[in-house]
Chains A and B, each alone.
Chain A
Amino acid sequence: MVNIQDLHKAFGKNQVLSGVNLSIKEGGIFAVLGPNGSGKTTLIKSILGMVIPNKGSISIQGKHIKNNSSYRQHIDYLPQIANFPSNLKVKELIKMIKDLRGKTTEDERLIQLFKLEPFLDKKLGTLSGGTKQKVNLVLTFMFNSPLIILDEPTSGLDPISLLRLKDLIQAEKAKGKTILITSHIMSFVEEISDEIVFILEGKIYFKGTVSELKTKTSQPDFEHAIASILTENHA
């Protein structure tokens, strides 16, 4: 599904990714983890083509993404910080994205699911952070793409919505889709992901299941496993 080879990226003097090799097979939920500034978002943005790598190649579904934009048709992306044009109404934003990407009927179901009906005629600038995130989720899930990338999907969500999100992710997985997630909430990651990709200082430090991680670090639970990686490497 996603194949990354020897990916390098520096912002000025700051080397963020230094030789990432990663291949993600089709189907399943993959969590990308790492401390702040480890390059998670840069990696995801590279996959999306928003960041242009200095070196290395990325291919999705067997196609190189360099100088290409149409492959994004097959990706649903949930950005980390939901910033929308503030003088647009929710309804208009949904309509616009549909206009840009193609038709779908999923949006109505998702709006119901997240109980967004009362906000449809409100301007995006007036919404609370949580509501914005819900709109963000609707925009992401309303298309039926084989690859879904979620950057911090849980932020700002109330417990009920969080439950719905989990159901939604599981349902997408059941359809055989590939889902990439970054998150800081370890319980969420442990609960939902099939595999973990751990990035440290611009490199893939670990890739495997949660149990493999536990064995490798010989820690009883997931959070401690992560913590031990971090202390070991900074000690």
Chain B
Amino acid sequence: MNKIVLFLAVILMAYPSYAQKIEVCGTCAIPSLKKGIAAAKAYDTIIVKKGTYKEHGIIVDKPLTIIGENYPIIDGERKGEIITVISDNVTVDGLFIINVGTSYTEDYAAIRIKRSKHFTIKNLVLEKLFFGIYLEKSSYGKVYHNKIVGDAVEEYNSGNGIQLWYSNHIVIEHNYVQHVRDGIYLEFSDNCLIKNNVSALNIRYGLHFMFSNNDEYSDNTFENNGAGVAVMFSKKIKMLNNVFRENWGTASYGLLLKEINDAEIRGNTFEENTIGINIEGSNRILYKNNNFTNNGWAIKVRGACYTNRFLANNFLYNSFDISYNSKVNDNVFDRNYWSNYTGYDLNKDGIGDVPYRPVKLFSYIVNRTPETIILLRSLFIDIIDFSEKVSPVFTPDNLMDNNPLMKKNLW
């Protein structure tokens, strides 16, 4: 152990001796970042002083550390991509990058990592962008502590905040993304960890997975997006302790699962979403210890979903707890707390003596004729719901929680 520490110390002390520091500033000998990179040797550090640098098409083609002091502004003047990294071991830190060019044929990014490994992108502020941070076939990198503020209005002419494409083993942490198309987008990217980010006010999704497996996202907050998180055609995704809030709108949901298998959804909070979780064709998923509070629909199940388990969740004051569009049910609900449960517990074991049926006749009616939503909570609706509860005709008759808790699940 001691030997390792000593070894590291020696390396660290030795490092500056051959790595040079290059300063870039408006009035210096090296007035632009491009020239700085040209002047630098591999493993040099470039310090960019405060100021405005009108540059685009900067290519980082050797392992460098680029550090901005007091957030120098790199202004791309909307002419194209601003920084492209094509070398391994590059660190970009503390830049304020604005005015990325917009194009319908090319995905210009504020910073793009291309076929590189072991990069670190941190403390960047990106504004007026098309794509923000674009990782293309790059692996083993870190993206953390960045702030990306777009001004996207329409889906077709806006880009994503952080985009991963064929990039594996990436850690994305403590970023703040807002007003772009997708906050964070993963396509064909495996084994990534997305943690402690805030993704809000984005036009499409806060976080978006496509064909990506074995990823984990946890402790993130997704708020006020077109839809919170969309996970599509992916396997073995872990979704832990995230908050999905106020994703409101016609086709809006906290979480969309489409063709997802073997995922784990645990400890999340779904609050005030039009739909908490929208599920289509997803199997063998474990939902445990989640809170569903004040959603329009806590869970909407469409299409074939088999052997999913919903255990020990809290369903609190949702307009509808579960909505189903078929009469067949192969999913298990057990030991959840349902605030709409009206049963009793005579033997005082904390479990209601009457099973709870979370699917209401009215939710079936609303699926058919959406305008009828206006009759929500009417006495008449309560009466027909009650009669459906007594003898199910339209809703799956085996869909029930046999052990509904009398008190909220605590964990």
Direct contact of A and B (CB under 8 A): no
Which positions in B face A, CB cutoff 8 Å? none
Q: Which residues of A approach B to under 8 Å, CB–CB?
A: none
